[in-house]
Amino acid sequence: MSKTKGSILIVDDNAGILKSLSFIIKQEFEEVVAIKSPAKFTSLLQSGSFDVIILDMNFTAGTNTGNEGMYWLREILKHDPNAVIILITAYGDIELAVKAMKEGATDFIQKPYDPIKLISTLKSAYQLRKSKLQVTKLTNTQKHLSEELKKTHTSLIGESSEINKILNAVKKVAPTDANVLILGENGTGKELIAREIHRQSKRANNVFISVDLSSLSETLFESELFGHKKGAFTDAKEDRIGRFETASEGTLFLDEIGNLPFSLQSKLLSVLQNRTITPVGSNKPIPIDVRLITATNKPLPNLIKDNLFREDLLFRINTVQLKLPPLRIRENDILLLAEHFLKIYGKKYDKPHIKISSDTIEMLKQYKWPGNVRELQHMMENCVIMAEKNIIKPGNLQFSTNIEPSIPNFNSAIKLSKVEEITITEALSRNKGNINKTAKELGITRKTLYNKIEKYGL
């Protein structure tokens, strides 16, 4: 008959009782630890949690008040509020039992104990422990789900052949549990693709957890991803479940994996190989079941050559690779995305009828979009706020100060006035609307510039 996988801690100052209890319990449970003094509690509880603790009520010869047991009961619960504790004593009475239960004990057994009843009580206590841990995990997961619901996640939008290729690849990889590495410049929508993979996967009804690795310091890395036990370090005032455990049975998205320090990559690799995590301050591995998706904007092969990224870690995370196209080669999607964001921000800022002028559309298509879709989104929000008369004109566009918009390829069909309008619009954008600087750059007077701004409605 297979044993229950639970771990039991027995604390009693009587060596004979320890031996007897250990013998009985080892017939039914995989792990049994027996100690004579509760003074060892601190180190034991920090190094690993126990499913059930059997605690004697008295440890000093001639004492039968139960005060020592009550003290250690409180100390254990301070360390682990989910601890399941069974008190056992030869001097117990109903009054002491009731007091212990009020303080947080799970059950109470008198010496001499009935072996059959003892095992039955332990199995019930073990199931209670599993339920408590499950509730804690569900509560933590619910917290993440609530945070996710508060966020606004844009759907993946695009009709270009480049985006259709990505979407077709997503359909193929999503139903599997294969690890996926998403490559692409900043702002191309790597997290959107990760969420789409999760949405189409068999894990869609479970949690999606996103972690920006570039935001984690080396000191917080293990605690954030693997969790920690109370007292593991100075600020560890309570047990914390890590992101891997929270994401178990769901999807874990590790963004900016190219920024992960080399010293931490081996720890991540070990977790992915062993499919277990060990919280900081514990020595008890916890099995995990996650679908891993990672992303980066960095060339990982180059980092490997420079000894900045582990090749074996790349092999582990790179079962399937998706490379997202930059917005500048998705010309057919630019207007589609701009109108999508226009609708969102028009509603947000009470301008539901706002439109984009044809001149503005041309400039949007000609711009190189170094910040990709994210830059377009921020620009459209700014335009909605600043535009007058419900029309977005070229002068409303605030292009990147570091990279100038590209000049359109003019042909004979375009009038000279159009060239002048676009030139003035770009100059105003570069100079952030400063009339003096713009006029000086264009080599015209302020008055002439004002007249042309009025002429073109800029």
Confidence of residue 415 (pLDDT cuts 50, 70, 90): low
Q: Is the pLDDT of residue 61 over 50?
A: yes
For the chain, residues classed under CATH 3.40.50.300 are 162-325
Confidence of residue 310 (pLDDT cuts 50, 70, 90): very high
Give yes or no for a contact between 211 and 259, defined as CB atoms under 8 angstroms apart: no
Confidence of residue 140 (pLDDT cuts 50, 70, 90): low
Q: What is the pLDDT of residues 99-127, one digit of tens each?
A: 888 888 888 887 778 888 888 889 888 88
- Relative orientation angle of helices 372-386 and 331-348, to the nearest 10 degrees: 40
Please tell me which residue, 407 or 204, carries the higher pLDDT value: 204
Q: Cα separations (Å) of 379 from 95, 366, 384, 395? A: 71, 15, 9, 12
Give yes or no for a contact between 47 and 283, defined as CB atoms under 8 angstroms apart: yes
Q: What is the pLDDT of residues 204-236, one digit of tens each?
A: 988 899 999 988 888 788 888 998 887 778 777
Q: Once rounded to an integer, what is the mean pLDDT over residues 38-49?
A: 69
For the chain, residues classed under CATH 3.40.50.2300 are 4-131
d(CA 24, CA 105): 22
Per-residue model confidence (pLDDT) at position 337: 94
pTM (2 decimals)?
0.64
d(CA 272, CA 291): 10
Phi and psi angles of residue 10, each rounded to the nearest 5 degrees, phi first: -115, 130
Confidence of residue 143 (pLDDT cuts 50, 70, 90): low
Q: Is the pLDDT of residue 399 over 90?
A: no
**% of the chain at pLDDT higher than 70:** 88
d(CA 224, CA 254): 12
Confidence of residue 382 (pLDDT cuts 50, 70, 90): very high
Cα four-point dihedral sign 69, 75, 77, 79: negative
Task: List 2's β-bridge partners, or say none.
Answer: none
Per-residue model confidence (pLDDT) at position 153: 54
Q: What is the pLDDT of residues 251-290, one digit of tens each?
A: 999 999 999 999 899 999 999 999 999 988 888 888 999 9
Per-residue model confidence (pLDDT) at position 372: 94
Tokens of 451: 């007249």
Residue at token pair 């619009």: 425
Per-residue model confidence (pLDDT) at position 405: 46
Cα four-point dihedral sign 248, 251, 256, 257: positive
Range among 115-119, 141-145, 318-322 with highest mean pLDDT value? 318-322
Per-residue model confidence (pLDDT) at position 448: 83
Please tell me which residue, 146 or 298, carries the higher pLDDT value: 298
For the chain, residues classed under CATH 1.10.8.60 are 328-456
Q: What is the CATH number of domain 328-456?
A: 1.10.8.60
Confidence of residue 137 (pLDDT cuts 50, 70, 90): low
Domain 162-325 fold = Rossmann fold (3.40.50)
Q: Once rounded to an integer, what is the mean pLDDT over residues 395-418?
A: 59
User: Over the chain, what is the mean pLDDT?
Assistant: 84
Q: Once rounded to an integer, what is the mean pLDDT over residues 24-45?
A: 82
Per-residue model confidence (pLDDT) at position 376: 94
Report cis status (omega within 30 of 0) of the bond before 112.
Answer: yes
Q: Is the pLDDT of residue 411 over 50?
A: no
d(CA 107, CA 113): 13
Q: Is the pLDDT of residue 403 over 50?
A: no
Per-residue model confidence (pLDDT) at position 93: 65
Q: Once rounded to an integer, what is the mean pLDDT over residues 324-348?
A: 92
Please tell me which residue, 447 or 356, carries the higher pLDDT value: 356
Q: Own/partner pairs for 231-237, CB < 8 Å, 24+ apart?
A: 231/42, 231/46, 231/79, 231/281, 232/46, 232/279, 232/280, 232/281, 232/282, 233/280, 233/281, 236/280, 236/281
Domain 4-131 fold = Rossmann fold (3.40.50)
